[in-house]
């Protein structure tokens, strides 16, 4: 059973592909967009944020092609970063939302930065959690991901040939790694369940690589963001170490940066109370400042 039911939901054909969306909370409140991350999970990854944020905001989530409410396809065009970010704008347009804050996680941080850099009039504030991007690159293609290996141990399992032959084992390994905190059984089980909503062929088509990244350089995008930005990153992230967010903070010292001590790659699930309070405080800072003036 879900902690909160959507007030609106549906599917749309946007930018060549079918996506699904859900809305939560009062439509009269300020909007917050929670974009997707990699297709290995769906928008339920936000299940610890949606009920809390919906008390204060109109919350919008969406699933692009690949998992959840999105269509299933192996067309690489469906996984282009700019296309997915534009689909987020399409959902906002469909809902009549002219401006929203964006709270993004992992690969979703790339969508958030691109939106803030190219559509500044649409993005009020931006929160980047466990960013996979740096000022130097939109992401990183896993080493040897497309090479056939005789054996795969540890992170060598991040390999499309291994996925095609041992998909369930890959899911167990992946989620056990990105949830390194003690007592993470629930998070791991949820992740495996979400991963089973897609398949190895779709993950192979959606692997982070330059042909999927935006045409604008990461550095240009980071420099172009004009809205307030909050960076959150776990100190114990084994997948995308905290140095990625530190590099963003160094490039943009005007951005706020909070290290989540002891958190792994998914603090939105394993440290939700602190994350939610930090998000709420940041998103409401401008209103609080206005009241004090």
What domains, with CATH codes, occur in the chain?
A: 8-139+210-292 (3.40.50.1820)
Report the range of poorest mean pLDDT among 1-5, 30-34, 264-268: 1-5
In this predicted structure, the answer to whether residue 112 has a pLDDT above a threshold of 90 is yes
Instruction: Answer yes or no: is pLDDT of 15 > 70.
Output: yes
Residue 5 has pLDDT above 50, yes or no: yes
Q: What percent of the chain has pLDDT over 70?
A: 97
- What average pLDDT does this structure show over 19-31? 98
More confident site: 166 or 239: 166
Q: What is the pTM of this model?
A: 0.96
pLDDT at 290: 42
What are the helix and strand counts (H, E) for the chain? 12, 8
Residues 147-199: tens digit of each pLDDT: 998 889 999 999 999 999 999 999 999 999 999 999 999 999 999 999 999 99
pLDDT average, residue stretch 199-214: 98
User: What was the pLDDT predicted at 291?
Assistant: 44
CB 104 within 8 A of CB 43: no
Query: Do residues 231 and 245 lie in contact, with contact meaning Cβ atoms separated by under 8 Å?
Result: yes
DSSP one-letter code for 53: H
User: For residue 286, what pLDDT band results from cuts at 50, 70 and 90?
Assistant: low
pLDDT at 251 over 80: yes
With a cut of 60, say whether residue 113 has pLDDT above it.
yes
236 sits in which H/E element: none
Mean pLDDT of all residues belonging to the chain: 96
pLDDT at 292 over 70: no
pLDDT band at 293 (very low <50, low <70, confident <90, very high): very low
- Show Cβ contacts of residue 179 under 8 Å, excluding neighbours closer than 6 positions: 187, 188, 191, 264, 265, 266, 269, 270
Percent of the chain with pLDDT over 90: 95
Cα–Cα distance measured from residue 13 to residue 61, given in angstroms and rounded to the nearest whole number: 16
């Amino acid at each position: 059973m879900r902690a909160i039911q959507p007030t609106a939901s549906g599917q749309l054909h946007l930018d060549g592909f079918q996506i699904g969306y859900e809305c939560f909370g009062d439509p009269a409140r300020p909007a917050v967009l929670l974009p997707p991350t990699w297709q290995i999970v769906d928008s339920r990854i936000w299940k610890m944020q949606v009920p809390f944020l919906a008390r204060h905001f109109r919350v919008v989530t969406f699933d692009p092609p690949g998992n959840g409410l999105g269509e299933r396809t192996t067309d690489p065009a469906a996984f282009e970063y700019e296309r997915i970010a534009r689909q987020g704008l399409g959902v906002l347009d469909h809902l009549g939302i002219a401006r929203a804050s964006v709270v993004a996680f992992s690969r979703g941080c790339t969508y958030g930065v691109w939106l803030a850099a190219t559509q500044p009039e649409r993005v009020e504030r931006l929160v980047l959690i466990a960013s996979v991007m740096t000022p130097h690159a939109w992401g990183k293609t896993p080493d040897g991901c497309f090479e056939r290996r005789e054996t795969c141990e540890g992170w060598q399992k991040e390999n499309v040939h291994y996925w095609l032959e041992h998909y369930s084992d890959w899911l167990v390994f992946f989620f056990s790694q990105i949830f390194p905190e003690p007592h993470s059984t629930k998070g791991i089980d949820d992740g495996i369940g979400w991963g089973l909503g897609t398949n190895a062929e779709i993950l192979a088509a959606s692997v982070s690589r330059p042909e999927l990244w935006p045409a604008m350089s990461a550095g240009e995008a980071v420099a172009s963001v004009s809205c307030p930005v909050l960076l959150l990153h776990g100190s114990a992230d084994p997948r995308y170490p905290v140095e990625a967010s530190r590099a963003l903070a160094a490039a943009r010292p005007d951005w706020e940066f909070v290290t989540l001590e002891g958190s792994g790659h998914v603090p939105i699930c394993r440290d939700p109370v602190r994350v939610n309070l930090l998000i709420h405080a940041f998103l409401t800072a401008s209103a609080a400042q206005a009241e004090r003036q």
